[in-house]
Structure 1
Amino acid sequence: MLIEDIQNICKKLPHVTEDIKWESHLCFCVGEKIFIITSPDESPVSASFKVDDEDFAELRERDGFQPAPYLARYKWIHVDNINRFSKKQWEEYLGKAYELVKAKIPARKRKELGIF
């Protein structure tokens, strides 16, 4: 997996924007809310992303995964190397992260942005 693979997966999701935050973190957002944060300048490339309760409990037990610093209370997981997931797994988890974050966007904002 390359960071470009993550970008391509995210760009296929509707209304996704990408932005550089905190000087070097490539973030993907829906409705201005982040659903994945990557560190493309690190070697290996790491990432943090939103998960549901079940995935949070399962992933935190795997090697290379841990609750994301500062975001764990919101059920975010940090992976130390994006190659710990296959492309298919990234598609699944990023799809879930996108939906979880999109669901939290207020109805008025979703309507403004054309997000349903």
Structure 2
Amino acid sequence: MTRDEFDAFCKTLAATSHVIQWGNASVWKVGGKIFAICSGWGEGDHPRFSFKCSDISYALLIQQDGLIPAPYLARAKWVQLEKEGAMSDEDLKAYIVAAHKIIAGKLTKKQQKELGLAG
């Protein structure tokens, strides 16, 4: 997945916002809270995708080749794809959707309703 494809996909999720932070990272938020990040600082550097995940997913994913605890965010159960192609685009999209759901679920009921995320 390219950074542009990542951004286009994240944009399709409900109530998201996008900012460029920390130099040149593409940061996606729901309700002001981050659920996914694409970084890659250097010329020709491949994109590194990071996302929030469940405790179980975190424990499993960090054991896979090419996936690491996300720098600065590992204690909050975030993983990072360190190697290009470490996960299929379909799997990455599924984990991004799950990350969005996890973070949206942590918002207050009032915030969820205001953002159209709750019935």
Shared fold per TM-score greater than 0.5 = yes
For 2:92, the aligned partner's letter is W
The Cα shift of 1:82 comes to 4.9
Q: Which has the higher contact order (CA 8 A, sep 6+)?
A: 1
Contact 2:53 2:95 in 1 (8 A): yes
Distance 2:36 2:84 in 1: 12
1:93–1:19 Cα change, 3 Å: same
Q: 2:88 aligns with which of 70, 86, 89?
A: 86
Question: Which aligned runs of 4 or more in structure 1 are off by greater than 3 angstroms?
Answer: none
Distance 1:22 1:36 in 2: 14
Contact 2:7 2:26 in 1 (8 A): no
SS in 2 for 1:88: helix
Confirm whether residue 13 of structure 1 aligns to residue 17 of structure 2. Answer: no
Confirm whether residue 59 of structure 1 aligns to residue 61 of structure 2. Answer: yes
Confirm whether residue 110 of structure 1 aligns to residue 112 of structure 2. Answer: yes
Aligned to 1:71: 73
- 5+ long unaligned stretches in structure 2: none
Q: How many residues are treated as equivalent by the alignment? A: 116
Distance 1:70 1:10 in 2: 22
Contact 1:29 1:36 in 2 (8 A): yes
RMSD: 1.5
SS in 1 for 2:85: helix
SS in 2 for 1:97: helix
Aligned to 1:49: 51
For 2:4, the aligned partner's letter is E
| TM-score where L is the length of structure 1 | 0.90
- 5+ long unaligned stretches in structure 1: none
Distance 1:60 1:51 in 2: 11
Distance 2:9 2:85 in 1: 14
SS in 1 for 2:60: helix
